Amino acid sequence: MTSELVAVLAVIFAAMAFDYTNGFHDAANAIATSVSTRALTPRVALIMAAVGNFVGAHLGAGVARTVGDGLVDLPPGVPSLGIVFAGVLGAIAWNLITWYFGLPSSSSHALFGGLVGATLFASQGTVQWGTIIDKVLIPMVASPIVGIILGFVVMVAIMWIFRRGNPGKLNRGFRMAQTVSAAAMSVGHGMQDAAKTMGIVVLALYTGGFQDDTTHIPWWVFWTSAAVLAAGTYAGGWRIIRTLGRKIIDLGPAEGFAAEAVASSVLFFNAQVLHAPISTTHTITSAIMGVGATKRLNAVRWNVAGSIVIAWITTFPAAAAISGIVYFLVRPLFG
């Protein structure tokens, strides 16, 4: 077994570990609102989210190519695989830290920050700052703004359209509608987050010399990334589910449907049209805030929201710093 093969296998194993933590960390993105409104039981919601993630993973090739080809440019060889390995481990560490404290931070930005941090600390390879700015930093700012605005607008429209409806019948109807919106959210999450793992695996295969470009995605990469993300999602992330489902605002079925419909639409547009790897966490959390603000501004628990925003801001640099430290620890293993 060659050193290149060993290094590639190490990166793939780390990528799948990240994929699994991504699943249980971000399970809340797909199911928190449906569980909190009692539209779905927790176990049914998790099963649906796992299936949706698996299906969505097979639709995320565009996002995977952006991650594999557009973020960092590394020369072929074992030392570069050490950079990717350190970047992924840094992202895993940040996922576990934020999961412990129940903060719905972005696994995507943890991964991007980890890759950038390890590359910078290694002084080897090039960070493609143009892509980072266009595909990561701008969407990092824009997606929460869009989520808040669209969440507010859609909820106002729902309130006006159904203003004379019977509250009991409307709640039952929107609970049924949430089955569809939560399923769409699960598929959107798979398109975004499984695709990021696929991009890392493809980058490792290219850097290790096992394929000629970073645009081809082998069939087994689709299936493995999808299955691991689905397994992680089924394991659940109850700390974060409680934060999204109850601590920001108490949601009703109509609010839950509006938030999920907005968030899933934004995820689909970015994955299928822009091929931009946006954060599912930012998108659904901001949509919940926008929907909640239609009740009254103080209905949203802004102190909790503030803690979440701080986690958003610190994710990229924190994961980068952790990955830099990890790189110096693992560098001797990668020659």
pLDDT of 150 over the 80 cut: yes
CA 81 to chain centre: 23
Residue 334 domain-assigned (yes or no): no
Query: Which pLDDT band, with edges at 50, 70 and 90, does 312 fall under?
Result: confident
pLDDT of 248 over the 60 cut: no
pLDDT of 85 over the 80 cut: yes
Higher pLDDT, 14 or 279: 14
Place of tokens 């925003």: 309
Task: Give 180-197 pLDDT, tens digit per residue.
Answer: 998 998 899 888 888 889
pLDDT at 218: 92
pLDDT of 131 over the 90 cut: no
Query: Which pLDDT band, with edges at 50, 70 and 90, does 329 fall under?
Result: very high
What gap in Å lies between CA 147 and CA 158, rounded to an integer? Answer: 16
Q: What is the mean pLDDT of residues 265-270?
A: 89
Amino acid at 141: V
Q: What is the mean pLDDT of residues 87-105?
A: 85
What gap in Å lies between CA 73 and CA 80, rounded to an integer? Answer: 10
Q: Which of 24-38, 135-149, 242-256 has the weakest average pLDDT? A: 242-256
pLDDT at 243: 57
Residue 333 domain-assigned (yes or no): no
Going by C-alpha positions, the residue among 78, 76, 89, 88 that lies closest to residue 1 is 78
What is the token pair recorded at 196? 């990021």
What gap in Å lies between CA 19 and CA 23, rounded to an integer? Answer: 6
Confirm if 272 and 57 have CB atoms less than 8 A apart: no
Q: Which residues of 268-294 are buried (b: 16+ CB within 10 A; e: fewer)?
A: bebbeeebbbbbbbbbbbbbbbbbbbb
DSSP annotation of 244: I
Strand partners, 72: 127
Q: What is the mean pLDDT of residues 103-132?
A: 87
pLDDT at 292: 81
Residue 332 domain-assigned (yes or no): no
Helices (DSSP H) in the chain: which residue ranges? Answer: 3-36, 42-57, 61-70, 78-100, 107-122, 129-131, 138-161, 167-189, 195-207, 219-235, 238-242, 253-269, 280-292, 302-330
Residue 31 domain-assigned (yes or no): yes
What is the token pair recorded at 323? 């990955």
pLDDT at 299: 56
Cα-based distances in Å from 288 to 76, 77, 255, 271 = 43, 45, 8, 21
pLDDT of 239 over the 90 cut: no
Confirm if 169 and 35 have CB atoms less than 8 A apart: no
Q: What is the mean pLDDT of the chain?
A: 84
pLDDT at 189: 86
Supply the pTM of this predicted model: 0.86
pLDDT of 276 over the 90 cut: no
Confirm if 247 and 284 have CB atoms less than 8 A apart: no
Q: Is 41 helix (H, G, I), strand (E, B) or coil?
A: coil
pLDDT of 295 over the 90 cut: no
Task: Give 192-237 pLDDT, tens digit per residue.
Answer: 888 889 999 999 999 998 988 878 899 999 999 989 988 888 876 6
Task: Give 46-76 pLDDT, tens digit per residue.
Answer: 888 888 888 988 888 888 888 877 788 888 8
Terminal CA-to-CA distance of the chain, rounded, Å? 16
The vertex-198 CA angle with 195 and 201, nearest 5°, equals 160
Higher pLDDT, 113 or 32: 113
What gap in Å lies between CA 325 and CA 114, rounded to an integer? Answer: 10
Going by C-alpha positions, the residue among 184, 282, 292, 232 that lies closest to residue 25 is 232
Query: Which pLDDT band, with edges at 50, 70 and 90, does 27 fall under?
Result: low
Confirm if 117 and 322 have CB atoms less than 8 A apart: yes
Residue 335 domain-assigned (yes or no): no
pLDDT at 286: 83
Amino acid at 332: P
Confirm if 11 and 84 have CB atoms less than 8 A apart: yes
Q: Which domain holds residue 25?
A: 3-327
Domain count of the chain? Answer: 1
